[in-house]
Structure 1
Amino acid sequence: MKFYTRFSARLLPAAIVLLLATTSCESFLDVGPPPTQVDAATVFTTDASATGAMLGVYSGLNSTGTSGITNNAGLSTFLGLAADELTYANAQYDQYRLNNVSPVNGTVDFFWGQTYTSIYQLNTIVDGLQNNTTVTPALRNQLLGEARFLRAFLYFHLANLFGDVPLVLTTDYRVAGQLGRTPKTEVYAQVLADLLEAQKLLVPAYPVANERTRVNQAAATALLARVYLYQQNWAAAEAQATAVINQTSVYQLVAPATTFLAGSQEAIWQLRRGGSISANTYEGQYFIPASLTVAPTATYLLTNQVYAAFVENDVRRSTWTNSYTLAGTTYRYPFKYKQRVATTGGAAATEHSQVLRLAEQYLIRAEARARQGKSADAVADLNAVRARASATPLAATLSSNDLLLAVENERLRELFAEWGHRWFDLIRTGRAAAVLPAVKGQPWDPNDAVWPIPNPQLLANPNLTQNAGY
């Protein structure tokens, strides 16, 4: 993977520049090819330029060198190593695998810096659209809803990766570059405010027909369900998840073999790779070995814990994992995405990265119901996810402790190697100390629940402080 290592909001010009990625993907056809850079003072004067600004942010979210925490399947890989899902074929990423991430780690600095670059762009879009009278009102609401959603999405992940983080809502780069850390509770409050506003502004329909690579109202509702779950607001999490699950004409659980296809009916929000029409996913590129005839040297491999979590008749194991054997050694790897390289001849990609999908909503509701003592309903949700994988139904008579463990294990089977779900689950439920020592061969240090604040950021901003233990 290629990463870049230095960012400070102080380095941005006073007139913030929006990155607008030029692309041939059909989502962009209605606005024409945007210029590379547009001054914020003029970008929100027409429907086309305002749309181009938003599309540029989307393109950057999954592009090498500009995407921060969404880059190159970064959360899926590095948090998979930090949890008990993945190992790496050599010691290159042992900092993550051994939960010993350094403050001078360039990748962590990249995640931080580039994510704040995207947030800065989103702040500019929010400011440019809030009182705008030149962009068509319906489009203004759509774009503003998308910007509020994406800002919430990024801050949600920053807070869960680093704890207290600067809450930058201004486009004044001089102020942004000097902000100290905001308590995580306040960051979460802003995440909720953004998502609730996005939920009002967005509509059920996707902006582009037959595409789910830009967010709609259901995406805001789905992320709200997750945020409420993390806050232990069980009733609200259940209600929001139910609102998505009940949209049966749009969202359905599908067979594991088709779950990760572009436009899958299980998809709530997918990311197109770099905006390119022909590029398949970074997940496919990094998880599928380049060669099956030599021992891996740069491959993410599945742990035995993940593989052993599946029962024999669960087709997720045969469909979402793969393996090859050399010299008596079997190497297993994630295989949710089947395409390692881009399509040829300009054909459309067959897979997009799944960010939000329906199965997670069933699992959110199952946990929320279990926490509220609604055991039978919780089991029914788990069994809905298991049924489409041909897994044996769970008994409705599980004890409360066994039911919560069943939820944890089902989330592992369903969401492994996806966006760091397993890592975040172990941290938010306090289960890391019980699970990880047996895998890592070392005691769990509670300070490892968050990453260090990158050292270049501390040097650039004297108002930042380091996390404990680093």
Structure 2
Amino acid sequence: MQSLTRFSRRLVVPALLSLASCNFLDVGPPPTQVVDTNVYAADASATAAVLGIYIGLTSRGTNIPGIANDAALSTFLGLAADELLYASTTFDEYRLNQVNPAGNGPSLLWSQAYTNIYQCNTAVAGLTGSTTLTASLRTQLLGEAKFLRAFNYFYLTNIFGDVPLVLNPDYTVSGALPRAPKADVYAQVVLDLLDAQKLLPAAYPVANERTRANQAAATALLARVYLYQQNWAAAETQATAVLAQTGIYTLPALNLAFLASSLEAIWQVRRAGTISTNTYEAGYFVPASLTVAPTATYQLTNTLYNAFGTPDNRRTTWASSYTVAGTTYRYPLKYQQRVATPNAGATTEYSVALRLAEQYLIRAEARIRQGNIASGIADLNAVRARAGATALATTLGSADALLAVENERRLELFTEYGHRWFDLIRTGRVAAVLSPYKGTTWDANDNVWPIPATQLLANPVLTQNLGY
């Protein structure tokens, strides 16, 4: 992994060349400027450049949401919480919350996030300065670039805490930046999402596809950010704005929620490669064989599996199990089409990054924390009804209602982009929940991952998180 300075310099060319490899753009000779104004002079090339940011989410192997073609946010953060076990000791550093600063995980997540952010910054600068693009397209692409920058920074700051806030494509500036306070990073995320809301159209750029951001995607992510900031009223307002769009978004049957055609999806991440590909998640969660013990897949923990009540169809639809030599292995089954490499068949599943059920859960928590318990429980019950679970009483007290939110988020959002891990940390519940589960006294320093060791060597103004 390279320093900010070194990898920014290194990516001026490859960030664009990666587009050419995916038949989006032939960029010709290496650019001599940080921002190649030629790219943002024509509609086709500007569109290709922004599409390249989406490709960067899954194509390079060291990415958010994946590491080495692995859905890292779902897997490693699932191990760090109480959702997953791995078939071997390979990833014990995450399960035991002893993440190595010199390990691949932190380095690759950090590097890829800043790769994506570099491309976003380049796009924002190029689009802002362009005077030759079709006006409506320029506005849309700028909104997408700002949404994607916010998305990457949201995960960076929730994984690492304070991180450099790079907003300029000039690597001579970005390479020596110190860590910015998490509050400042969040403030920028909010600004980007507010801008994206204004810039993005309500309709998706491609008909029958939800793999590029629209206004609702920006609103949904903004609702989440406000929840994390404990801005309860704003979180409720933004979630309500999405939930009100009943003609576009709905809660379908459980077995339809994670399909490429899902009416619940607000924003999906399509796996890079040919158009006929499915998800990385299924490749790592669904066993290759049900007759041999797993060696390279993840299993659900018994604590999660047993947390589902009766009735609750999520346990039977979104999870499954098999037994080998008397040992039962349980695994996530939200995604069912197991593929290790892009295939030639029809695409049936995309990775769902934002979906409607989360908006119900955001609004439920926001309402309860504002004292509107009955309405909050009603939102929880909307999610539970889809699962066939018994309705919760609207007369719950505040403490019990908040525990109900925590439980519902656990059961609804398991193995999706690290929700459980982030929830336990942001609510201050991580020690109470994970200490008994892991059998150790929780170390508050474990709440964030270490800054990659190579970054500290390359940039002397960076500091390490406590405890590493």
TM-score interval, smaller chain: over 0.9
Q: Deviations over 1:50-71 (max 9, x none)?
A: 0000111111101242524544
RMSD of aligned alpha carbons: 1.7
Q: What SS class does the counterpart of residue 346 from structure 2 fall into?
A: coil
Contact 1:58 1:275 in 2 (8 A): no
The residue aligned with 2:114 is 116
Instruction: State the aligned residue count.
Output: 459
User: Take 2:130 and 2:313, find their aligned partners in 1: how far apart are those partners?
Assistant: 51
Q: Deviations over 1:426-445 (max 9, x none)?
A: 00000001000111111100
User: Take 1:226 and 1:361, find their aligned partners in 2: how far apart are those partners?
Assistant: 8
Contact 1:82 1:96 in 2 (8 A): yes
Contact 1:453 1:467 in 2 (8 A): yes
Q: Is 2:89 aligned against 1:91?
A: yes
The residue aligned with 2:4 is 8
User: Take 2:268 and 2:187, find their aligned partners in 1: how far apart are those partners?
Assistant: 25
The residue aligned with 1:28 is none
Give the C-alpha shift of residue 279 in structure 1: 1.2
Give the C-alpha shift of residue 396 in structure 1: 1.0
When normalised by structure 2's length, the TM-score is 0.95
Q: Check 1:294–1:202 CA distance in 2 against 1; reply closer, same or farther (3 A cut).
A: same
* 1:34 pairs with one of 21, 25, 35: 25
The residue aligned with 2:152 is 154
Give the C-alpha shift of residue 10 in structure 1: 2.7
Give the C-alpha shift of residue 378 in structure 1: 0.5
Task: Return 5+ residue gaps in structure 1 as ranges.
Answer: 25-31
| Residue correspondence of structure 1 range 343-354 to structure 2 within 5 A | 346-354=344-352
| Residue correspondence of structure 1 range 378-397 to structure 2 within 5 A | 378-397=376-395
| Residue correspondence of structure 1 range 40-439 to structure 2 within 5 A | 40-71=36-67, 72-341=70-339, 346-439=344-437
Q: Percent identity?
A: 64
Q: Check 1:193–1:345 CA distance in 2 against 1; reply closer, same or farther (3 A cut).
A: closer
Q: What SS class does the counterpart of residue 435 from structure 2 fall into?
A: helix
Contact 2:197 2:219 in 1 (8 A): yes
Q: Check 1:22–1:260 CA distance in 2 against 1; reply closer, same or farther (3 A cut).
A: farther
Q: Deviations over 1:239-273 (max 9, x none)?
A: 00000000000000111100000020000000000
Contact 1:14 1:173 in 2 (8 A): no
Give the C-alpha shift of residue 152 in structure 1: 0.5
When normalised by structure 1's length, the TM-score is 0.94
Amino acid in the other structure paired with 2:87:
A
Contact 1:302 1:334 in 2 (8 A): yes
Contact 2:42 2:133 in 1 (8 A): yes
Q: Check 1:183–1:393 CA distance in 2 against 1; reply closer, same or farther (3 A cut).
A: same
User: Take 1:466 and 1:148, find their aligned partners in 2: how far apart are those partners?
Assistant: 28
Amino acid in the other structure paired with 1:167:
L
Q: Identify which range, 8-17 or 403-412, moves more after superposition.
A: 8-17
Give the C-alpha shift of residue 8 in structure 1: 3.3
User: Take 1:467 and 1:63, find their aligned partners in 2: how far apart are those partners?
Assistant: 29
Q: Check 1:282–1:36 CA distance in 2 against 1; reply closer, same or farther (3 A cut).
A: farther
Q: What SS class does the counterpart of residue 267 from structure 2 fall into?
A: strand
Q: Check 1:447–1:344 CA distance in 2 against 1; reply closer, same or farther (3 A cut).
A: closer
Q: What SS class does the counterpart of residue 433 from structure 2 fall into?
A: helix
Amino acid in the other structure paired with 2:235:
A
Amino acid in the other structure paired with 1:267:
A
Q: What SS class does the counterpart of residue 329 from structure 2 fall into?
A: strand
User: Take 1:344 and 1:16, find their aligned partners in 2: how far apart are those partners?
Assistant: 27
Give the C-alpha shift of residue 34 in structure 1: 1.8
Contact 2:4 2:176 in 1 (8 A): no
Contact 1:325 1:331 in 2 (8 A): yes
Contact 2:20 2:27 in 1 (8 A): yes
The residue aligned with 1:27 is none
Q: Deviations over 1:189-232 (max 9, x none)?
A: 10000000000000110000000000000000000000000000
Q: Check 1:128–1:101 CA distance in 2 against 1; reply closer, same or farther (3 A cut).
A: same
